[in-house]
Amino acid sequence: MKIYLAGPDVFLPNAVELGRRKVELCARYRLVGLYPLDNAVDPAAPDASLAIFKGNEAMMDAADAVIANLTPFRGPGADSGTVYELGFMAGRGKPCFGYSNDPLLYADRVREFTGVTRREGRLTDSGGLTVEDFSLADNLMMIHALERYGGALVTPKARPADIWQDLATFEACVRLAAEHLGVA
């Protein structure tokens, strides 16, 4: 079984090496990890971004399932490219799994990110926009999609020292996926 490894890992300085470690961990659970192609394309090439898009989409179509790294990225929520891919795989009807290296609830993370107040029963941010307050780790569409299409979001008890390099929670998610997919 092939599993697409969505995540902002591709933006790390050691993206290629981290991808190799993720693929190796998948192999231990008899899963073939497919790691996005962002770093296999020369960013200076014409149409580089389109080549990455097409490559990643072909990889998703070849995959039987997805594991999404939903660790908060550049703000209180998950990386949008990863979230798009999670939605795409859910739309394709393929099993979806996800993990985050941040154990906080979304509303608490927004509290750290911007001012939050409670007005007339609604939790709102500094711009007056409602903050989802359902005791979930991130936006409800993603969290419930995981529960419905694969397995609940996997999180650590405490934030690891390095949220980008620590793969313990990723491995727990691979194990969950392997059990669900019947290869463990």
The residues of the shown chain that bind a second copy, judged by CB under 8 A, are 8, 10-13, 15, 43, 48-50, 52-54, 56, 73-81, 83-93, 110, 113-114, 124-125, 128-134, 136, 138-145, 148, 164
Closest distance to a second copy from the beta carbon of 137 (Å): 11
By DSSP bridging, strand 122-125 and strand 116-119 are antiparallel
Between 123 and 183, CB nearer to a second copy: 123
- In the complex, minimum distance from the CB of residue 127 to a second copy, in angstroms, rounded to a whole number: 8
The pair phi, psi for residue 126, each rounded to 5°, is: -65, -20
Kindly tell me which of 28 and 54 has the beta carbon lying closer to a second copy: 54
Choose between 102 and 138: whose C-beta lies nearer to a second copy: 138
Whichever of 107 and 183 has its CB closer to a second copy, that residue is 107
Minimum Å gap between C-beta 118 and a second copy is 12
Assigned token pair, 5: 């490894």
C-beta of 172: minimal distance to a second copy in Å? 22
For 123, list phi and psi in degrees, rounded to 5. -85, 125
Write down the least CB distance from residue 35 to a second copy, Å.
15
- The smaller minimum CB distance to a second copy, of residues 13 and 182, is found at 13
Residue closer to a second copy by CB (options 29, 131) is: 131
Instruction: Return d(Cα 35, Cα 4) in angstroms, integer.
Output: 6
Helices (H), the chain: 15-28, 48-62, 80-91, 106-113, 140-149, 168-181
Q: Which residues pair with 99 in a beta bridge?
A: 69, 154
For residue 56, which amino acid is it?
A: N
- DSSP 8-state assignment for residue 131: P
The whole-angstrom separation of Cα 83 and Cα 69 is 9
CB of residue 122 to a second copy, shortest distance in Å: 8
What region does 97 belong to: left with phi over 0, alpha with psi -120 to 50, or beta?
Answer: beta
